Amino acid sequence: MSQENQAAYEQSRSFEDEDLRQPQHDEMLLWLDANMTGILNQLIYPDLTDEQIESYLENPAEIKKNWQQPIKGPTGEIAGFVDMIVSYERTDESGDTISKVFFFDVRTTIPSLGQLIREINTYKLYLGFEQSWLYTYLVVGPDDRYAKILAEQGIQFLSYDPELSPL
């Protein structure tokens, strides 16, 4: 194996994520994908009811969902992956464009809160989160016991419950 191939192989092995191998992880991503329009409407318009949102949105939003997106470090190396990146764009009645990008990190469990926050803060640095009004980072999981601490760190939490509506 050439040095270049060996380096690529070693880099790919460093991204092994045991959570990614869990069937519940796939179930959660599929739930997130299927409910994305409702989730985004509630994130962007938290004070409106579903009926108000529907009547308010004459122009439908353009939503693009990308699974398992790599995050590149400052020298172009892959630093990690985000489970789903979603871009939202809609032109309102006055002709103004609303654009937002959401980063979803799906976790079946959170064995280490510190490690999770460190990982997300590293990604936020690499992604250029200076324009925080444009970007929102969310952790999706069944256990919301760290939701308050995550919120204090600028990370939203979305409770996963397949029996309930998304938010």
What is the arithmetic mean of pLDDT over 87-104? 84
| Average per-residue pLDDT for the chain | 81
Pairing of strands 135-141, 97-106: parallel
Higher-confidence residue of 56 and 13: namely 56
> In the chain, where does DSSP find H-type helix?
3-13, 23-34, 36-44, 50-56, 113-127, 147-152
Contact 99, 88 (CB under 8 A): yes
Task: Give the C-alpha separation, 133 to 154, whole Å.
Answer: 11
Task: Give the C-alpha separation, 24 to 109, whole Å.
Answer: 10
| pLDDT number for residue 12 | 44
What is the arithmetic mean of pLDDT over 67-83? 88
pLDDT at residue 157 is higher than 60: yes
Sheet holding 135-141, edge to edge: 62-72, 78-91, 97-106, 135-141, 156-159
CA gyration radius for the chain? 17
pLDDT band for position 107 (cuts 50, 70, 90):
very high
pLDDT band for position 54 (cuts 50, 70, 90):
low
What is the arithmetic mean of pLDDT over 42-68? 77
